[in-house]
A and B are shown apart, each in its own frame.
Chain A
Amino acid sequence: MSSRYHEKTIAELSAMLHAGEVSSVELTQYFLDRIKSRDGELNSFITVTEEQALAAAKAADERIKNGEAGPLTGVPIAHKDIFCTDGVRTSCGSKMLDNFISPYDATVVTKMKQAGVVMLGKTNMDEFAMGSSNETSFYGAVKNPWNTQTVPGGSSGGSAAAVAARLAPAATGTDTGGSIRQPASMCGITGIKPTYGRISRFGMIAFASSLDQAGPMAQSAEDCAMLLNAMAGFDERDSTCLDNEVPDYTAELEKPLAGLRIGLPKEYFGEGLSPAVEQVIRDALDEYKKLGAELIDIELPNSGLSVPVYYVVAPAECSANLSRFDGVRYGYRCADPVDLMDMYTRSRGEGFGAEVKRRIMVGTYALSSGYYDAYYLKSQQLRHKISDDFKEAFEKVDVIMGPTAPDVAFKIGEKSDDPIAMYLSDIYTIAVNLAGLPGMSVPAGFVNGLPVGLQITGNYFKESQLLNVAHQYQKNTNWHRAIPEDFA
């Protein structure tokens, strides 16, 4: 029997757990040991919850023994540190919440617990999910396991790096403008951002409420489907969560792709895209052709507006969402405030990092009296146009494909001083959030030893189809099984 559990997908580990080939306690200890010995190089975890993990694993083993287990019972995973976890520090990557022990579980965390999933710990992230490189974290940058000189992407960079290095079989992430797909692409793993409203946002610390969406980050589409089964569903505590039936996302994985219409937006293959990355994507598209899919050129004429629109809407919402971090009730409070104003300004000034402050200021400006119409209102109007582009496209095609990011992972520090260049690394992912559509990133090859992700975008609530399209590709390729040499 192999004890190289880190080479296994969740589907495989689940089968082994149910067959009694391994216990959850053994698996959990195995990954805890791996984190302990290897995460020093990556910094992908903020908090490791060893004690709770082993207790949960023990309980999971009981459930398995008693025949009460579901497919995920006993499987260890990590949660992005944006999800509130009862009794465990929930920092959101910020000094502001470094001392915050959440008194409750996010709905996603509750659902995972109910499924018997074991939490290994909380993963590093850009501060308040604001960043594309995981360099804005109060806990330091996360390194890409494929090349520790480079970034893992962001904001779910800790989750992506941990899964890529197989320190955890899977992790949760959140995606406001590409924060699941872009790091998944840069770390060579599979991630899906479902339709806005598919997964409850309750207990997920808000960045931009109308864009934030949780999702799984794993080794394969099949694993994502299994995890999504546990995460998705209506929650009466989230008014924007949709109350429609949740299908079994594993049910359609094996559907053949013959006749699948794939749309290729010309805007995603133009200027700014690295030619080497484009070649990887073209190769992936050839693979789909072999599987019987039809490639159709389409246009998303307003996609060029995505980045500017996003950088009005998201900061505007975040400027209000982050106002609650005021030093009054929890979180960081400055030392010896002389009065209320001093307490507010210093607590926030010292508690937030530069990127968070930049976005709060941009958002505050955009909402200010006299500027609201020109910025916020205008952006909302353009957001409709961006959505309409997709609506039109999906009349002609089933899914849309292209690169997840214009290039592979860049060097740590390379774009830190150039926010605009940093923002452009999300140029292909942001429109999907603005439209509220489901999107995936699937490993499709390498450039200079760094992974390239293929982005697949579907129509509203077509997660099953996306997972099917990705799974069929993964059955015919091995990119998703590649493990960075240093972590093999």
Chain B
Amino acid sequence: MSYDSNWEVVIGLEIHCQLATKSKIFSGSSTAYGAEPNTQANAVDLALPGVLPVFNKEALRLAVKFGLAVDAEIGLRSVFDRKNYFYPDSPKAYQITQMDHPIVGKGHMDIELENGETKRIGITRAHLEEDAGKSMHGTYHGMTGIDLNRAGTPLIEIVSEPDMSSAKEAVAYMKKIHSLVRYIEISDGNMQEGSFRCDANVSVRPKGQKEFGTRTELKNINSFRFVEKAINIEIERQIDLIEDGGKVIQETRLYDADKNETRSMRSKEEANDYRYFPDPDLLPVVIDEAYVEQVRSELPELPEQKKQRYMSEYDLSAYDAGVITASRELADYYETVAAKAGDAKLAANWVTGELAAKLNREEVEITEAKVPAEAFAGLLLRIKDDTISGKIAKDVFEAMWNGEGSADEVIESKGLKQISDSSAIEAMVDEVIVNNPSQFAELKGGKDKMMGFFVGQVMKASGGKANPGQVNAIMRKRLEE
């Protein structure tokens, strides 16, 4: 960002994360995504007269799991409230949520800054609530259609402290939370399908000022890229506005990705009075320590714990361990490769190197990698036993990705097996020396950098297959002769 350093930015995020329950939070309807409109909306979801909500205990378990994973206080007595507002995709015209007594209290999440430091972001609370349906504008003879399939899908809203001071930090935090909810398997985290989305509260203040500036709320941003862009463009707008003598007004703004701008949705004055009050249809949710401990025992190894283990057990650098543990799938992949290849360091180098680069280029997730972990380990084994060089291995990997078979099959069919037969290499070395007498004389005369020339020529003559170590050794021998 290019805004000048006289300004300080304050950002807090509200992340809405759908919980991966099979049925809805207050009804028995399926939560599966993508069904025909309103085929997963029963009488309760439609808010027919007389229906009542019944709390899905699985949603409670998943929310508690989240709380424990961010080291938060767990609300042993949480209360559902009604948040009243009229909107066609809100069938009861109130949302069941938690106001004063959320299931998850204060917790925190650490993020890594670009300078390598760690920053702790406070989590104010996380509460259970139901998702709304969807309005489909203009789809039915110019009228608005309402799809209530999503209505009642369980959410946790994770509210952070205003602890982030740049769009980058906000994205780092959001990514961390995203990775965590997938790690602990409480959400599929699918951002395209809206399982994981975020509102950002953004304000600026002159450097050194204690009071917060007036904040705006950016609504419903559903990709990491848009979060960064939306926040940056909003910071720019606020600073420009103030520097031009204007004032930021407290309002809700919508990010338009096509135009890369934010625009006003409603101001504070127009904001609803939600008239929260405890939902008399639902009893307070009371849990005990034994329940909390039971859920705690179901927690998998968390990213941070995994990272520390990789550093101590596998001797990985903090950076490599951080990259690998950023997603549970990548960590699982890595651990399989490391175990099968029997070399954790080599596995880390290749997973964070060649594999990560490939995923990046192809823009795919680790779960969509064309080379499964077992096959990838097979490739590393061939490096380890000197069948191929690291350089050749990159070509083999490429071929494997393109579906040309296992490492062994590719090496076999393309004849890439490394030449380690010293008599064959000696013959190649001698031929190169014979063909380049003047260069050899220079080398003998002490021009050491000619060594590279000869090794290169031999490698070239072998089609890259000669064992480079052996080529070097034989050249040295010839020099001494």
Contact = CB atoms under 8 A, between A and B. Distances in A.
Contacts of A239: 52-55, 281-283
B283 to A, nearest CB: 6
A323 B93 contact: yes
Given A102-B49, A319-B275, A368-B275, 16 more contacts: A83-B50, A205-B50, A239-B53, A239-B54, A239-B55, A239-B281, A239-B282, A323-B92, A324-B92, A326-B93, A328-B146, A329-B47, A330-B46, A340-B88, A367-B276, A376-B277
Q: Is the interface of B mostly helix, strand, loop or mixed?
A: loop
B363 interface: no
B133 to A, nearest CB: 10
Nearest to B85: A323
Contact of B48 (A102, A204, A317, A320): A102
A409 interface: no
B280 A210 contact: yes
A201 B53 CA distance: 11
B92 A84 contact: no
Contacts of A100: 49
Contacts of A203: 50-51
B420 interface: no
A347 B277 CA distance: 25
A70 to B, nearest CB: 25
B49 A368 contact: no
B43 interface: yes
B280 A209 contact: yes
Interface in A296-353: 316-317, 319-320, 323-326, 328-330, 340, 344
Interface in B260-295: 273, 275-277, 280-283
Contacts of A236: 54
A204 B281 CA distance: 12
- Please indicate which of the listed interface residues B47, B51, B54 has the most CB atoms of chain A within 10 Å of its own CB: B51
- Please indicate which of the listed interface residues B91, B93, B94 has the most CB atoms of chain A within 10 Å of its own CB: B93
A237 B50 CA distance: 11
Interface in B41-79: 43, 46-55
Which 10 residue pairs of A and B lie closest in terms of their CB atoms, listed nearest first? A323-B93, A209-B280, A367-B275, A210-B280, A203-B50, A324-B47, A205-B49, A84-B50, A205-B50, A369-B273
B49 A202 contact: no
B84 interface: yes
A97 interface: yes
B54 A237 contact: yes
B86 interface: yes
Given A237-B54, A240-B283, A367-B277, A324 B49 contact: yes
B51 A202 contact: yes
A329 B91 contact: yes
Interface residues of A, number: 43
B82 interface: yes
A57 interface: no
29 contacts: A83-B50, A90-B50, A102-B49, A104-B43, A104-B48, A106-B50, A202-B51, A203-B50, A205-B50, A206-B49, A209-B281, A236-B54, A237-B52, A239-B54, A240-B52, A240-B283, A316-B277, A320-B84, A320-B92, A320-B93, A323-B94, A324-B92, A325-B49, A326-B86, A329-B46, A330-B48, A367-B84, A367-B277, A368-B273
Contacts of A103: 43, 48
A316 B282 CA distance: 16
Given A239-B281, A368-B275, A202 B94 contact: no
Contact of A323 (B46, B55, B86, B146): B86
Interface residues of B, number: 28
B54 A206 contact: no
A87 to B, nearest CB: 14
B82 A320 contact: yes
A248 interface: no
A286 interface: no
Contacts of B43: 103-104
A27 B203 CA distance: 75
B54 A364 contact: no
A280 to B, nearest CB: 36
Contacts of B276: 367
Nearest to B80: A239
A92 interface: yes
B134 to A, nearest CB: 14
Given A239-B282, A324-B91, A206 B275 contact: no
Contacts of A102: 48-50
A319 B146 CA distance: 24
A372 interface: yes
A274 to B, nearest CB: 34
Given A103-B43, A340-B88, A240 B281 contact: yes
Interface in B1-57: 43, 46-55
Contacts of A205: 49-50
Given A317-B280, A323-B86, A238 B52 contact: yes
Contact of B49 (A97, A238, A344, A376): A97
Contacts of B273: 368-369
Interface string A195-216: 0000001111110111000000
B49 A92 contact: yes
Nearest to A83: B50
